[in-house]
A and B are shown apart, each in its own frame.
Chain A
Amino acid sequence: MTPFARTALGLALAFLYAPILVLIVYSFNDSKLVTVWGGFSTRWYAILFADGPLIAAALVSLKVALLSAGIAGVLGTLAALALDRHGRFRGRGAYTGLLYAPMVMPEVITGLSLLLLFVGIGLDRGIGTIVIAHATFATGFVAVVVGARLKGLDRSLEEAAADLGASPARVFFGITLPLIAPSVAAGFLLAFTLSLDDLVIASFVSGPGATTLPMRLYSQVRLGVNPEINAASTLMIATVGLVVLAASWLTARRGA
């Protein structure tokens, strides 16, 4: 690499990681002021673990993330299969557009319009409506991850199984699904973290009693910088770090 390329890369990575490092370092700061270093302390973590509403919100978020990632995992995998295996079917372009549009749609639009639908059909707002909303925008992400794996898949195993008389269903569950399983798991994890992360859509479609972790954190962030949020953030970053490691291990193992 040229010195110029190396500098560019170094600056970009510093830019990406500096705020995260600052966040983590100051979560161990004894002082309440985020800009003054008052010595090492874990007291914000103690306060965090005694914060009942925050922990309740974290549990709501986990529940929503698990359920919505499960739905998005199934729907996204099916959509990826349809795009990879069904050839140039009629309306393929529109199908792809519909699948990928929720990924870039501004969250305020998705959130507001889903809320208006839920109110229109008289669905009670709560955890269920957040799950539906999250599954809707995460499906496209799962389809991208699984689709990439399907594209690189060697078809000869499936053809051999079919030649030996296996039914399409048996080929799918015996050969295809095990082969794409790591990418389905990676897609599930992506959908899971996207759900954990969402503030805007959940704020629109949630109802009384369904406060997610980002909603709770946002209501505190609005009041200003607070070391307890830094501690919560550090734990979330650590969790996501572990999930990313798991996901890259899953995909690297099968070369997805």
Chain B
Amino acid sequence: MSGRLARLLVRGLPLAWLVLFFLVPFAVTLKISFSSPATAQPPYLPVIDWQGGLEGWREFLEALDFQNYRMIAEDALYRDAALSSLGYAALATAILALTGTPTAYAMARASKRWQPILVALVIVPFWTSFLIRVYAWIAILKPEGLLNGALMKLGLIASPLPILDSPTGVLIGLTYAYLPFMVLPLYAVMSRLDPALLEAAADLGAGRARAFFTVTLPLALPGVAAGALLCFIPMVGEFIIPDLLGGSDTLMLGRVLWSEFFSNRDWPLASAVAVLLLILIVGPVVLFREAELRREEAAEGRGR
């Protein structure tokens, strides 16, 4: 009996916490996204009248409407922000896949003694403050910054390039901040590849490049997919990077949500933006999970 109770506690405590502080908040957000802003405390209407019984619920439900979603659909600002969030995230994910693959490949081909050190070197920046690492780029990218200074000294450019406060600045920041998230899953897959496969490819006359593209890369694709998902989702909702490196013209949903909440104090509209953001990222997750399940089934069918 006490064993069953213990099992229930072990499984149930984290579950209860996450339901209460992760799932229920989404339900609350969804509800408030159908409310209207109000100069009250809390700053939205309607508020559920728990004493009102069935009648109170009816009034509550009748006061909800789609006006926030209409606003999002009609005002070009939100559509542009959604599209450019997806665009930035997709472009940065592609850059990450292109830069992360050779990095992870090199790590996996390093000697066994070096591999743990290289992994640690990739992880350490991830442990240091995100805000500070993004902030560090301001000094490098700004017009009188180090990068422009170096390029001008080398005579490559005559006047400073406007990299800070531009889309390029955002892409550099995204690539920089998320590189470990792409490299580590890729490395995990590549370091487990059987070296005999590459030897076989070499024996059959494939050069290094051919072996990489026909053997390593196809087998590493699950790692690329995992890394891409791990980067893409948080990047769509990124706030700090567009805020510090993107200037006032960079539209991203995370930033729109932030300003609706903190500057305009329109909680219902901010909630509707959160729901929109969530819808945008659920699609890729579902696709990935399905691919994952299919692969697992295939692996189990082969393995046992």
A: residues with CB less than 8 A from B are 1-2, 4-6, 8-9, 12-13, 15-20, 22-23, 26, 34-35, 74-76, 78-79, 81-82, 85-86, 89, 95, 98-99, 101-102, 104-110, 112-114, 116-117, 119-120, 132-133, 135-136, 139, 143, 168-169, 190, 193, 196-197, 199-200, 203-204, 214, 217-218, 221, 224-225, 229, 233, 236-237, 240-241, 243-244, 248
B131-A217 in contact (CB<8A): yes
Closest 7 CB pairs of A and B: A106-B237, A113-B25, A5-B106, A19-B136, A8-B102, A79-B14, A9-B106
Q: Tell me which residues across on chain B come within 8 A of A119, comparing CB atoms.
A: 42
Chain A nearest CB from B136 CB (Å) reads 4
15 contacts between A and B (CB under 8 A): A8-B103, A12-B106, A13-B122, A22-B146, A35-B146, A98-B18, A99-B14, A105-B237, A109-B278, A113-B29, A135-B21, A193-B127, A197-B131, A241-B128, A244-B127
Task: Check A197 against B130 for contact (C-beta < 8 Å).
Answer: yes
Chain A residue at smallest Cβ distance from B268: A116
By DSSP majority rule, is chain B's interface helix, strand, loop, or mixed?
helix
Docked Cα-Cα span, A203 to B176, in Å, equals 24
In the complex, A123 Cα to B253 Cα: how many Å? 28
Query: Which one of B4-12, B52-60, B69-77, B195-203 is at the interface?
Result: B4-12
Contact B106 A1 (CB under 8 A): yes
Residues of B within 8 A of A110 (CB): 22, 25
Least CB distance, B150 to chain A, in whole angstroms: 11
- Which of B110, B122, B125 counts the most A-chain CB atoms under 10 A from its CB? B125
Closest to A82 in B: B11
- Contact check, A101 vs B22: say whether CB atoms are below 8 A apart: yes
Residues of A within 8 A of B10 (CB): 78, 81-82, 85-86
Task: Assess the A114–B140 pair: CB atoms within 8 A.
Answer: no
- B137 in contact (CB, < 8 A): yes
Is A116 in contact with B29, judged by CB distance below 8 angstroms? yes
Q: What chain B residues lie within 8 Å of A98 (beta carbons)?
A: 15, 18-19, 22-23
Whether B132 sits at the interface, judged by CB under 8 Å, is yes
Q: Is B237's CB under 8 angstroms from A225's CB?
A: no
Flag whether B118 is at the interface (Cβ < 8 A). Answer: yes
- Bound CA span A225–B122, Å: 26
Q: A35-B149, A217-B131, A229-B135 are in contact. List 17 more A-B contacts (CB 8 A).
A: A12-B99, A18-B140, A19-B133, A23-B136, A34-B139, A82-B10, A104-B229, A107-B239, A108-B253, A109-B257, A112-B29, A119-B42, A168-B6, A169-B6, A199-B240, A200-B239, A240-B129
